[in-house]
């Protein structure tokens, strides 16, 4: 298949970790013999409005070859506060790029919003389109952002969609108005990279104390991930000699530092910053527990990786997180977003953790090969539907 990918999140200099799991998916499809090309439109904002991360965006190369995949990054005019207009502008730039070479057999709108806005243009040209949902690109857009009607129309125009969790598939089915239409295409986990390892050896490699419990928090420091709740849950329930490492970056960094100082927790809590994907496995191995306090999720890669590493996860109930926890759902999933309640659960898990092999068994069937085979079948169905 010749597969065109339209996405708003994809790694590249100077953001090498952004959308790494999208890259993993498409490199895997290319390795299976498919002709994959990626279009990653980037916003341009009028000069006086260009603040924050816009300088990083401007440094992104317009064209790049990553792992053998061609990446095209056309620019489009982005106007703050004009979500529908911006989505259409994103889609126009993406459509022009995708059609500038050989005609694709199918286009995947990877991360539903704003990429789904390309669906009407593809439909007019009889090019199959599959909208792929990953989490907030569906749930936040349809909910808080008030764009449910627009996304619903794009889903109907595409006629095909998939998502990384069953919870998300069901939400897209409701928006698209066709129960049972969506396909579950979960992210895979690299079971060779993430495995049950030697905790002491990992701690030596990372220069971490060997005798203290380590709670790991992995994810962007943004309101949706709520790292402030994770911090308070750790302080509420972890033993006094335990320590916590937060891996990531984001706009809540200053608030996190202030809260750590206010709580006098500087000796127990460390903001590590962003960590290269290939080093994450060592951090999971070194940890005793992984804490995730998201408000919204698709099917978190953090949970996949932690379980594959044989480490318990304590998570707030969000999206498809619970789908991964199997028999440990009651012990590891909280429906209450309260630091004291989460702290009590954390203390119990640290004191009596499940066996690493039993935790790994929860995700043993979720290999990347299985995920990619499911995606292939979904794309072929979309192609056959247009051809019929």
Using an 8 Å Cβ cutoff, are 250 and 218 in contact?
A: no
* Residue 140 neighbours by CB under 8 Å, 6+ apart: 224, 296
- Report the candidate in 261, 209, 230 with the shortest Cα–Cα distance to residue 338: 230
Angle between helices 166-176 and 148-158 (to 10 degrees): 90
Superfamily in which the 199-361 domain is placed by CATH: Glycogen Phosphorylase B; (3.40.50.2000)
Using an 8 Å Cβ cutoff, are 238 and 346 in contact?
A: yes
Residue 58 confidence (pLDDT) = 80
Taking only the tens of pLDDT, the chain with its 388 residues reads: 999 999 999 999 888 888 888 999 999 999 999 999 999 999 987 654 445 566 778 889 999 999 999 999 999 999 988 999 999 999 999 999 999 999 999 999 999 999 999 999 999 999 999 999 998 899 888 887 789 999 999 999 999 999 999 999 999 999 999 999 999 999 999 999 999 999 999 999 999 998 999 999 999 999 999 999 999 999 999 999 999 999 999 999 999 999 999 999 999 999 999 998 889 999 999 999 999 999 988 889 999 999 999 999 999 999 889 999 999 999 999 999 999 999 999 999 999 999 999 999 999 999 999 999 999 999 999 999 876 6
Q: Domains of the chain: which residue ranges?
A: 2-188+367-387, 199-361
Q: Is 228 helix (H, G, I), strand (E, B) or coil?
A: helix
Q: Same topology for domains 2-188+367-387 and 199-361, yes or no?
A: yes
* Residue 344 neighbours by CB under 8 Å, 6+ apart: 236, 237
Residue 127 confidence (pLDDT) = 98
Domain 2-188+367-387 in this protein, CATH class: alpha beta
């Amino acid at each position: 298949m010749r597969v065109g990918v339209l996405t708003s999140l994809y790694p590249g200099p100077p953001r090498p970790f952004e959308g790494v799991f999208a890259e993993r998916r498409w490199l895997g499809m290319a390795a299976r013999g498919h002709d994959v090309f990626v279009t990653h439109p980037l916003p341009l904002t009028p000069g006086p409005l260009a603040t924050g991360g816009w300088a990083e965006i401007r440094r992104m190369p317009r064209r790049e070859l990553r792992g053998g995949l061609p990446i095209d990054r056309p620019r489009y005019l982005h106007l703050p506060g004009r979500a529908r207009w911006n989505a259409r502008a994103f889609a126009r730039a993406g459509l022009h790029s995708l059609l500038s070479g050989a005609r694709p057999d199918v286009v995947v709108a990877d991360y539903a919003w704003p990429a789904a806005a390309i669906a009407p243009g593809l439909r007019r040209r009889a090019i199959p389109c599959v909208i792929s949902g990953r989490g907030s690109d569906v749930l936040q857009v349809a909910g808080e952002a008030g764009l449910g009607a627009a996304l619903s129309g794009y889903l109907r125009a595409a006629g095909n969609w998939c998502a990384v969790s069953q919870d998300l598939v069901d939400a897209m089915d409701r928006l698209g108005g066709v129960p049972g239409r969506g396909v579950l295409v979960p992210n895979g986990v690299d079971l060779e990279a993430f495995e049950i390892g030697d905790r002491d050896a990992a701690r030596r490699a990372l220069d971490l104390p060997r005798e203290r419990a380590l709670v790991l928090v992995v994810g962007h420091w943004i309101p949706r991930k709520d790292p402030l709740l994770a911090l308070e849950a750790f302080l509420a329930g972890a033993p006094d000699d335990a320590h916590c490492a937060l891996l990531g970056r984001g706009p809540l960094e200053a608030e996190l530092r202030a809260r750590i100082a206010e709580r006098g927790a500087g000796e127990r809590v460390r903001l590590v910053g962003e960590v290269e994907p290939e080093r994450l496995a060592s951090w999971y191995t070194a940890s005793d527990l992984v804490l995730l306090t998201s408000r919204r999720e698709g099917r978190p890669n953090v949970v996949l990786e932690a379980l594959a590493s044989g480490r318990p996860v304590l998570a707030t109930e969000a999206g498809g997180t619970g789908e991964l926890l199997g028999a440990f759902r009651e012990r590891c999933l909280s429906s209450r977003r309260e630091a004291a309640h989460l702290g009590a659960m954390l203390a119990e898990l640290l004191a009596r953790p499940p066996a690493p092999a039993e935790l790994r068994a929860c995700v043993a069937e979720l290999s990347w090969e299985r995920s990619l085979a499911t995606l292939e079948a979904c794309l072929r169905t979309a192609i056959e539907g247009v051809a019929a």
